[in-house]
Amino acid sequence: MSRANDLFKIPHVEGAFRRVKVLFGGQYIVDTDDAKLVWLKPSYPVYFFEEKDLSEKYLSPSENFYKGKQEFDIVVGERKALGAATKYTDGDLKGLITITFDAMDSWFEEDEEIFVHPKDPYKRVDVLQSSRHVQVKFKGHVLADSKRAWFLHETGLRIRTYIPKADCNMELLVASHTTSQCPYKGIANYYSVCLPDGTEEADSVWWYRLPNLECIQIRNLAAFYDEKFDVYIDGQLQKK
């Protein structure tokens, strides 16, 4: 959680001040410069829209009803996203509609596609190169040993250390099929740590083949899930 968000009364509403477009079934069902950024929880915002920005022709009442909310299916031709739109009928968000992000085909801010959720304007990500000595160990095995790591600082989260793969013991890392997506960094691939005795920590190392431009420095570098390993920086064991 960012310090700025600590000051918010939830829900918190701000103007997005950018054109927002939502694509589904080959149609832009939303195309507006009046979108709202709304924090329903402190960690990140979601987009809300005024009724005028989402035509009723795309909305079909759902069978689900909640106090202060009305749920709709979004329908475009033969495509249907069940329960993907929620209209608030009471409270601070009365008259506003939100759309489930991953139920749509694509989202755009201006002409740039965005992923996962809107970026938090109160969050920043800094990637800093360091010559400090970083070691990652697990049950007596050295997983990484480097003096050319990059430290990624993301508001509200612990610092993550990205290490060149040439400085990692790749014999102990086994590629996983797992992926995840971050609106700031991009799509991550994973490794599991597999020791010779059969001990395994699944999906405990991640890396970005092609990160977003703001984090391009971490391209092809490996980040270890520090909470599961012993991490030393200049010989000092870090807190998990």
Looking at the structure, do residues 89 and 133 belong to the same domain, yes or no? no
Q: Average pLDDT over the chain, rounded to whole?
A: 95
**Is pLDDT above 80 for 8?**
no
Q: pLDDT tens digits, residue range 40-83?
A: 998 899 999 999 999 999 999 987 778 889 999 999 999 999 99
Could you tell me if 129 and 232 lie in one domain?
yes
Q: Is the pLDDT of residue 194 over 90?
A: yes
The whole model's pTM is what? Answer: 0.87
The reported pLDDT for the residue numbered 6 is 55
Tell me which H or E stretch contains 69: strand 69-76
Question: 155 and 102 in one domain?
Answer: no
pLDDT of residue 146: 98
Torsion of CA 132, 138, 141, 146, to 10 degrees: -20
Q: Quick one: 182 and 224 in the same domain?
A: yes
Same domain for 41 and 95, yes or no, is yes
Q: Are residues 145 and 72 in the same domain?
A: no
* Total domains in the fold of the chain: 2
Residue 51 sits in a domain whose CATH number is 2.170.150.40
- One domain for residues 163 and 201: yes
For residue 84, CA distances in Å to 57, 68, 72, 115 come to 14, 16, 6, 17
Of all helices (H) and strands (E), which one includes residue 6?
A: helix 3-6
Same domain, 105 and 174: no
Residues 103 and 129 in one domain: no
pLDDT (tens digit, 9 = 90+) per residue, 111-167?
A: 999 999 999 999 999 999 999 999 999 999 999 999 999 999 999 899 999 999 999
Q: Under a CB-based contact definition with an 8 Å cutoff, are residues 178 and 190 in contact?
A: yes
Decide if 185 is inside a domain. Answer: yes
141 and 98 in a common domain: no
Range of the domain at 52: 3-114
- For residue 119, being part of any structural domain is answered with no
Residue 207 lies in a domain: yes
**Does residue 74 sit in the same domain as residue 21?**
yes
Question: Does a structural domain hold residue 109?
Answer: yes
Are 108 and 129 within one domain?
A: no
- Cα separation, 160 vs 171, in Å, equals 22
How confident is residue 9, by pLDDT bands cut at 50, 70 and 90?
confident
